């Protein structure tokens, strides 16, 4: 697809960057959850203050991931609009090319008809 439409390269690169950002946020969330899990053996024995700190850390990580997913959704919508625009342009160019080819072949047909007509008149003389 990129060979046919080289203008899609920035679109693909932007998508790759967006997915890399989401992947990094998910890795960070995973690391946070793993740290919390390994440091907390038994949540029932923790004081309320420690539970609130752990919950705050987890909440921050989830909100960062949520913001990243929202950002990715916006980028995907923007890229979808660009791809639709490219699709419309390609249809327009194909239609114009087909119309131009039709006009060219119609002109060639008329030129040949005229030449045959001229050749018949020249042969009768």
Chain centroid offset of residue 88 CA: 15
**CATH numbers and ranges of domains, the chain:** 6-95 (1.10.287)
pLDDT tens digits, 100-117? 999 999 999 999 999 999
Q: How far apart are CA 55 and CA 125, in angstroms?
A: 104
Q: How far apart are CA 123 and CA 121, in angstroms?
A: 5
User: Is residue 42 scored above 70 in pLDDT?
Assistant: no
Model-level pTM greater than 0.85?
Answer: no
Task: Give pLDDT, residue 28.
Answer: 78
- Residue 121 token pair: 């008149």
pLDDT tens digits, 52-66? 666 677 777 777 777
Chain centroid offset of residue 90 CA: 16
61 contacts 28 by C-beta, under 8 angstroms: yes
Most confident of 18-27, 67-76, 92-101: 92-101
């Amino acid at each position: 697809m990129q060979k046919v439409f080289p203008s899609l390269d920035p679109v693909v690169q932007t998508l790759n960057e967006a997915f890399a950002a989401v992947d990094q946020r998910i890795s960070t969330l995973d690391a946070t959850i793993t740290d919390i899990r390994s440091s907390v053996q038994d949540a029932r024995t923790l004081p309320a203050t420690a539970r609130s700190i752990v919950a705050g850390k987890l909440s921050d990580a989830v909100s960062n991931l949520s913001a990243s997913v929202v950002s990715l959704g916006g980028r995907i919508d923007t890229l979808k609009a660009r791809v639709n625009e490219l699709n419309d342009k390609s249809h327009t160019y194909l239609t114009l090319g087909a119309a131009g080819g039709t006009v060219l072949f119609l002109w060639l047909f008329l030129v040949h008809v005229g030449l045959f007509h001229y050749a018949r008149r020249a042969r009768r003389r």
